[in-house]
Amino acid sequence: MSSVIALTELLESRAMKKIVVALIATTALSSAASAADLAAHYTKAPVAAPITDWTGVYLGVSAGGAWGTNEWSSDETAPYRPGSYNTSGWTAGGIVGANIQVRNTVLGVEFDGNWADVSSSRAIGTPFNGLATNIASIDNKIDWTAHARARLGYSFGNWLPFVAGGAAIAGVHDNLNFIAPTAFNGVAYSGYSNSATRVGFTVGSGIDFKVTPNVIARGEYLYDNFGNTSGRLGPPTFDNQVFTLDTHAVRAALMYKFD
C-alpha cells in the first residue's frame, strides 16, 4: 500500500513540474511578444527646435536709397500748382535699439539718425504773379533724417520678419526762386526760402537675419510722410506757399547685439 502511495505522489510531483514549466514558458513568450509589439509601435518624440534669443540691446549702421514726391502750390489769384515733382538720393547713418522676446514674439524700440542727400527741382515757367516774363523754379533738399520706431516681429529661428512704425523727422530746405525779373514796380521779389525741421510719421517692414549669435544683417523698407510746410512771399504779393513731402526708402543694415 505504501508503494502505491509513493508512486502516486511521484506522478503528481512530475505533473506539477510540467504545469509550472509550461506556465513559465507561456509567460516568457507573452512578455517577449509584448516587448516586440511595443518596440514596433514606439516612435521617438521629436526634439523641439531651439528658440533663437533676440532679447538684448544692439548697435549698427545702415545705408540705402530714397525717393519721393514733392508738391508745391501758391494761393495767388489764380491758384498755381505745377503738380508733383520727384526727389531722390541716399541716406546713411547709425541705429540703436532693444528687443524683448516672449516665446517667438519679439517686441522692440529703435532709434536711428542719418545723413541725407535727397533733392529735386523743377522749373515753374511763366507767368507767375501775372508777369509774363517772370520765370521761376522750385527746389527741395533733405539734409538729414531720424526715426523713433516701435517694432513687432516673429522669430523663425535665425530669421525675424517685422513691422515698424513711429515718428519721422527731417531737416528740409524749400525754395522758390525768381530768375527774371527781380523787381516789380520798384519793389524786389525776395522769393521764398525756408529751412525747417519737419516732423511726420513713418511705417515700414523688413527682416533681420542672425549671421552669428551676435551679428545681425537687415533689409527693410520705410515710408516717411513729412506733411507740409508753408510761408509767405515777400512784398508786393505776400502769396502763401505750401510744400508737401513724402519719401520711400530701401535700406540695408549691419548690427551687433550685446548679450
Asked if residue 32 has pLDDT above 70, the reply is: no
The confidence band for 69, taking pLDDT boundaries of 50, 70 and 90, is confident
Are the C-beta atoms of 152 and 107 separated by less than 8 Å? yes
Between 150 and 127, the higher pLDDT residue: 150
- Looking at residues 85-106, what average pLDDT do you find? 95
> What pLDDT is attached to residue 44?
58
CA-based nearest residue to 59, from 258, 255, 259: 255
pLDDT tens-digit profile of 197-250?
A: 999 999 999 999 999 999 999 999 999 999 887 766 655 555 677 888 899 999
CA-based nearest residue to 62, from 259, 221, 218, 176: 218
CA-based nearest residue to 207, from 221, 222, 216, 219: 219
Asked if residue 153 has pLDDT above 90, the reply is: yes
**What does the buried/exposed string (b/e) look like for 198-229 if buried means 16 or more CB atoms within 10 Å of the residue's CB?**
bebbbebbbebebeeeeebebebebbbbbebb
Q: Report how far apart, in Å, the C-alpha atoms of 160 and of each of 52, 108, 109, 214, 250 are.
A: 10, 12, 15, 14, 17
DSSP code string of 178-233: EEE-SEETTEE---EEEEEEEEEEEEEEEEEEESSSSEEEEEEEEEEEEEEEEEE-
Return d(Cα 44, Cα 56) in angstroms, integer: 35
> What pLDDT is attached to residue 9?
52
Least confident range of 50-59, 79-88, 115-124, 153-162: 79-88
Q: Give the pTM.
A: 0.73
Between 39 and 122, the higher pLDDT residue: 122
Write down the architecture of domain 56-258 according to CATH. Answer: Beta Barrel (2.40)
